[in-house]
Amino acid sequence: MIPFLDLRSINLAQRADLLAAFERVLGSGWFVLGHEVQQFEREFAQCCGAGHCVGVGNGLEAMSLVLRAWGIGPGDEVIVPSNTYIATWMAVTHVGARPMPVEPDPASFNIDPARIEAAITPRTRAVIPVHLYGRPAEMAPILGIARRHGLRVLEDGAQAHGASYRGQRLGAHGDAVAWSFYPGKNLGALGDGGAVTTDDLALAERLRQLRNYGSSRKYHNAEIGFNSRLDELQAALLRAKLPTLDAGNRRRAAIARQYLDGLAGLDAALCLPAVAADAHSAWHLFVVRHPQRDLLAQRLAEAGVGSMIHYPVAPHLQPAYASLGLAAGSLPISEALHAQVLSLPIGPTQSDVQTQQVIDAVRCAVASLQPCSPAAGAA
């Protein structure tokens, strides 16, 4: 059996470092907003090439706190990708603003810069490009459009720790980047965690206050804030894992290369992810497309290969967003992707032999699937 992601082996590979981090926190007697969070913020900001990092409770709150700090709320619109994990949309909804979906370029899976301007209205305040599956979004054209229209840019970096765009790490291309340290991410805690990186000192200071009951000085509350703090234990564990991020991402890139070579030219129906010329992906996920995706997943499961779908239902078709009134067929590119995407196993502890076994299983499964009519495969 080849697991989709072996979190147990990933973390056990660092057992001694993680136990030492736990001992340090236990021995310190200090569990919230102390030395470990401060050091992690310093180290992660440096890793991202950003001026500041603010640790928060999770990735969703990293985004909603930034939007709130920018004063975005009811009556405002925020442009989001039509295909993303639902957190990107919910962060907008949580501040009372309206998510305005823009379709992706199916070749990159990322928001299509050429479609953004048509979605801008007098109410638009910000754009949230998502570096989906670890591949950096096309930040240069996105930032150009945002500047021309006076919009803020918040990047959703939850899937792209360590990735770079045009020679520069993700971390401060836009006005702020929101990160998640959910256990399955490239930099994952042993529980929930999140952060914001930015070059904007005033934003960082506002976030430090917002995450902690609107307080910058103990028991003095300047505004109605939240409780959204990265805790000391998770920060200490993340400090132990941060030095292995680049090696883990290099291993992921090698697996992706092996998949691309091993599956190239196999079948016109199997669409492999495109490699960006001007960016280094974090290869959080290796996502293929196939018109008979569910059957392909089933055949892989029968061959002992784990796979997952990111994601099975488009955000606008979720019951949670029925009130937006976006019917089936209204965002056809996103809908076609949601019907066809399948994520193959990838992770820092996956071996070449395991990767080859996945390749063999995919080759066998694809060959066994019925060729389908052109209409069924058309987006």
CB of 194 to ligand PLP, least distance (A): 5
Quote the CA–CA distance of 48 and 35 in Å, as a whole number.
20
| Per-position b or e across 123-153, b if 16+ CB within 10 A of its CB | ebbbbbbbbbbbbbbbbeebbebbeeeebbb
Q: How far is the CB of 282 from ligand PLP (least distance, A)?
A: 11
Asked if residues 57 and 194 have their Cβ atoms less than 8 Å apart, the reply is: yes
Could you tell me which residues are beta bridge partners of residue 197?
Answer: 53, 177
Residues 6+ apart with CB under 8 A from 23: none
DSSP state letter for 163: -
Residue with the CB atom nearest ligand PLP in the bound state: 59
Looking at beta carbons only, is 11 or 159 nearer to ligand PLP?
159
- Indicate the angle between helix axes 352-368 and 293-302, nearest 10 degrees: 130
Task: Give the 3-state DSSP-derived string for 86-128, with helices as H, strands as E and coil as C.
Answer: CHHHHHHHHCCCEEEEECECCCCCCECHHHCHHHCCCCEEEEC
Smallest gap from Cβ 252 to ligand PLP, in A, equals 15
Looking at residue 353, its amino acid is V
Q: In the complex with ligand PLP, which residue's Cβ is closer, 263 or 342? A: 342
> Least CB distance from residue 131 to ligand PLP, whole Å?
8
Which residue lies nearer to ligand PLP by CB, 237 or 263? Answer: 237
Q: Which is closer to ligand PLP, CB of 128 or CB of 361?
A: 128
CA-CA distance, 349 to 105, in Å (whole number)?
31
Measured from the CB atom, is 234 or 350 closer to ligand PLP?
Answer: 234
What's the closest the beta carbon of residue 348 comes to ligand PLP, in angstroms? 18
Q: Which CB atom, from 156 or from 335, has the smaller least distance to ligand PLP? A: 156
Least separation in angstroms between CB 168 and ligand PLP:
21
* Beta carbon of residue 61, minimum distance to ligand PLP (angstroms, whole number): 7
Task: Give the interface with ligand PLP as residue ranges (CB under 6 A).
Answer: 58-60, 84-85, 87-88, 130, 156, 158-159, 180, 182, 192, 194
State the Cα–Cα distance between residues 78 and 155, nearest whole angstrom: 12
Beta strands 98-102 and 164-165, pairing class: unpaired
- Residue 44 pairs with which residues in a beta bridge? none
Q: Which is nearer to ligand PLP, 175 or 192 (CB)?
A: 192
Shortest distance, position 21 Cβ to ligand PLP, whole Å: 20
DSSP secondary structure string for all residues of 46-66: HHHT-SEEEEES-HHHHHHHH
Which residue lies nearer to ligand PLP by CB, 195 or 276? 195
